[in-house]
């Protein structure tokens, strides 16, 4: 809602309208389109109809939305990741990314251009630097820079930035790819756990050839088995498949217990129908081309605590 309110405020100021009037137009547009778009999407349509173009404007991170072009933003690098090499579909190259923050929020920036990546490799841009981006584009709640984008150190000083991860309290029918969400709902289906082999040193998936397991970094290894748990989650607006890996599974049941058929069956029976708070990242399943959530945390709803909190707000 903070994102939406900022957008309405910016449209109202640019168009010389009251915020209430802009809000009414957004609701009318959303109703006309049978609720098929979000409030933010309807607001962008209203802005376009009013001749307002947010491209090339300096924006705060909380004002960014997926699909924007020619984004300009200033932020402080709060997390810088190593440059990675990739090989995909016959193409080879490098990719780099970091997280920037300002006083309103934070977001990941992805670099594909060799000149931009070179600024990180030679130390020109480093952790805690304040940087300026021009002509970026937003995709899946990230800023992507191409060869037409600009990246440089900024003379601005940002002392107070929002470094905590931005989480949306959305309903399942409104979640978007790339969002971090926290949603309350009920577990309506639990699948049989699956297991895969990983390197005991780095935890990365290993390749099996003739019963020999190879890690790309550590060579031949004796692998460890890690679990994957899938279940279906319903919040009253939609159902969605949830994926949990071993680090998150352990908050519900010891991972080794899932290998015991009797203990695993008892856990599934107990977990089914449980009301939980689910935290995680919305991803697109490439095989089925639908959205799913990779869980980062699961907390069972404490009804007594919830009633107490509601009573204290009265």
Q: What average pLDDT score do residues 256-280 get?
A: 93
Query: pLDDT: is 302 or 96 the higher one?
Result: 96
Which pLDDT tens digit goes with each residue over 134-192?
A: 999 887 678 999 999 999 999 999 988 988 776 667 789 888 877 788 899 999 999 99
Query: pLDDT: is 260 or 287 the higher one?
Result: 260
**Confidence at residue 144, expressed as pLDDT on a 0 to 100 scale:** 93
* Residue 63: pLDDT band with limits 50, 70, 90: confident
**Confidence at residue 53, expressed as pLDDT on a 0 to 100 scale:** 73
Q: Which of 35-44, 82-91, 212-221, 256-265 has the highest mean pLDDT?
A: 256-265
Contact indicator for 75, 106 with CB cutoff of 8 Å: yes
Other CB atoms within 10 A of residue 75 CB: 28
How much of the chain, in percent, has pLDDT values that exceed 90?
44
Q: Which CATH number fits domain 55-163: 3.30.565.10, 3.40.190.10, 2.40.50.140, 2.60.200.20?
A: 2.40.50.140
CA distance 97 to 143: 10
Q: In this structure, what token pair is assigned to residue 80?
A: 């810088």
**Confidence at residue 1, expressed as pLDDT on a 0 to 100 scale:** 45
308 pLDDT above the threshold of 70 = no
Q: Which of 59, 65, 63, 15 has the alpha carbon at shortest distance from 38? A: 65
The class (CATH top level) of 172-313 is mainly beta
Query: pLDDT: is 183 or 311 the higher one?
Result: 183
Q: CA angle 169-100-43, nearest 5°?
A: 50
Q: What are 100's strand-pairing partners?
A: 77, 107
**Confidence at residue 189, expressed as pLDDT on a 0 to 100 scale:** 95
**Confidence at residue 56, expressed as pLDDT on a 0 to 100 scale:** 65
CA distance 123 to 20: 48
| CB-based contacts of 242, cutoff 8 Å, min separation 6 | 230, 231, 232, 233, 278, 280, 292, 293, 294, 295
- Start and end residues for every CATH 2.40.50.140 domain found in the chain: 55-163, 172-313
Which pLDDT tens digit goes with each residue over 108-130?
A: 899 999 999 999 999 999 999 99
């Amino acid at each position: 809602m903070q994102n939406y309110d900022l957008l309405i405020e910016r449209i109202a100021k640019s168009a010389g309208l009251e915020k209430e009037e802009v809000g009414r137009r957004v609701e009318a547009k959303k109703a006309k389109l049978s609720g098929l778009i979000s409030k933010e999407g309807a607001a962008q349509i209203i802005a376009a109809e009013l001749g307002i173009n947010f491209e090339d404007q300096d924006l705060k991170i909380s004002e960014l939305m997926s699909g924007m072009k020619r984004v300009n933003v200033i932020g402080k690098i709060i997390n810088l990741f190593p440059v990675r090499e990739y090989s995909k579909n016959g193409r080879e190259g490098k990719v780099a990314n970091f997280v920037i923050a300002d006083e309103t929020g934070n977001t990941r920036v992805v670099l594909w251009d060799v000149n931009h990546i070179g600024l990180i490799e030679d130390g020109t841009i480093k952790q805690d630097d304040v940087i300026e981006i021009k002509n970026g584009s937003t995709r899946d709640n990230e800023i992507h820079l191409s060869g037409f984008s600009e990246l440089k150190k900024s003379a601005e000083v940002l002392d107070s930035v929002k470094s905590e991860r931005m989480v949306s309290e959305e309903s399942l029918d409104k979640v978007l790819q790339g969002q971090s969400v926290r949603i309350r709902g009920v577990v309506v289906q639990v699948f049989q756990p699956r297991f895969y082999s990983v390197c005991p040193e780095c935890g990365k998936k290993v390749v099996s050839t003739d019963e020999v397991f190879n890690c790309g970094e550590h060579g031949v290894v004796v692998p460890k088995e890690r679990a994957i748990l899938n279940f279906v989650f319903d919040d009253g607006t939609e159902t969605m498949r949830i994926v949990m890996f071993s680090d998150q599974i352990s908050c519900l049941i010891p991972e080794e217990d899932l290998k015991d058929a009797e203990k695993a069956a008892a856990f599934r029976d107990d977990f089914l129908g449980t009301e939980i708070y689910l935290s995680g990242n919305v991803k697109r399943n490439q095989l089925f081309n639908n959205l799913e959530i990779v869980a980062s945390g699961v907390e069972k709803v404490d009804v007594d605590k919830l009633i107490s909190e509601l009573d204290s707000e009265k």
